Structure 1
Amino acid sequence: MDVDTTSSDNAGAALAEGNVTISATASLAGSTTSTPVTLEVIKDITSPEVATKLPVAGTNAVTAALVFSEAIDLTSRNAVKTAVETAYTVVGNAVVVIEWAADNKTLNVTVTNNTGSVTSTVIASIGIKDLAGHTAPAIVQ
């Protein structure tokens, strides 16, 4: 049996980082070739970085976002959210909503009902991992 595998994105070359489509077929000598089986994978060789920081500690922004260069894993998202929640102090009727966007790389912070006040301190330094398991050095926001 012969097996033929090709990458439609980069046939014959080393695969670059990013989306890669792989197609494979099998055939017996003198027989017909099977229907191609296609698989799409993402080659990720970099660690996540902070692309956009939250405002400086003490800033009473109405909306802000902490954005990473790529999606981060669930454990890292939980740790980052906890660190951000810990950094905000609410006085009075202000409400701070902190939630991850569907892209798993953007943490949105929204201050509403601001009849009180909200202050923030520096976010604790923590390490994060992307979906491929690459660890970034501790981030300091």
Structure 2
Amino acid sequence: MPTKKPLIAIVDDDHSMREATKGLMRSLGFDAEAFSSADDFLKFPHLGRTACLVTDIHMPGMSGLDLHRRLVALGESIPTVFITAYPNDNLRGRGLGPDIVGYLEKPFGEQDLLKCIRSALARGSDGETVDDGR
């Protein structure tokens, strides 16, 4: 019986960044879905299956920070990686909560993102460590 691959959700209003990240995740053997806005992600029927969320902080409408707060309010504990082209040391140093597994500045390295994703998957939704086969 095939094992379900971990689902990585990417939320970024930058089309090229969103598609590149989705392609990278799929090439590494993950399921990946990409969304152009936080609102689109919140409408996703498989929200609860999301193993890790990669979201831009600065987006029109709902920001990545607001999206994270909304998920927490909804009782969704999704390990989250914040990405930004506008780094803010105050934000990074504040400790944004137990679900935040990374804060990456664009452009970020593939290995840096993968390290954050692995950290998220190591938590596992049921405490179980997920092996991505690498």
Report the TM-score, using the length of structure 1 for normalisation: 0.27
Larger Rg, first or second structure (1 or 2): 1
Higher strand share: 1
Q: What's the TM-score once normalised by structure 2's chain length?
A: 0.28
Higher helix share: 2
